[in-house]
Amino acid sequence: MTPEQKRLVRDTWKQLAPVADAAAGMFYHRLFEIDPTTRTLFRATDMVAQRKKLSQTLAFAIGGLDNLDTLVSKVEDLGRRHAGYGVTDAQYDSVGAALLWTLEQGLDQAWTPPVAAAWTEVYQLLSGIMRNAAARAERLQSVWPAPFEAAV
C-alpha cells in the first residue's frame, strides 16, 4: 500500500467511526444477502457483540497499517480462528464485496475511485494474510489431526 492509500483509508474510516455499529449492521445484512452460506457461521452468535468486534477489528487493522509486523501476526491469528469456524475461501470474496459495498454506501460522495482502490488494497492485504494462515492451519490439521495435547 502506498502512503496515500493508507491516508485515504484512515481518513474515510474516521468518517465512518461515529456510525460504525450501523455500518456493521449494513455489512452483515449485505453479506447474508449476497452469500447465504455465511449466515450459518453466525447462527449462535450475538450479532450486537459481533458488530462491535467487526468495528474493533477494522479499527485495529487500520491503525496497524504502518506496523505490519504486529498487524500480520494478529491477522494470521484471526485467519486461523476463521478456519476453525469453517470459513471457506469463497466466503472471503463475499466478505470483501459486502465490505466494499457497505463502505460505498456509508461514504457516499467521499467514495471516490482512489478511496475504492485503497480499501480494495487493504482488504486484499488482510484477507490474503488470513487466507494463507487458514490454509497453513488446514494443512497442519490434515497432517496432524489430533491436537498435540491430546496425544501426550
CATH number at residue 75: 1.10.490.10
> Is 150 within a domain?
no
For residue 34, give the 3-state DSSP assignment.
helix
Contact yes or no for 126/80 (Cβ under 8 A) = no
| pLDDT, tens digit (0-9, with 9 covering 90-100), for 78-102 | 999 998 888 988 999 999 999 999 9
Domain ranges, residue 92: 3-145
In a domain, 123, yes or no: yes
116-150 pLDDT tens trace: 999 999 999 999 999 999 888 777 666 555 554 44
Residue 152 lies in a domain: no
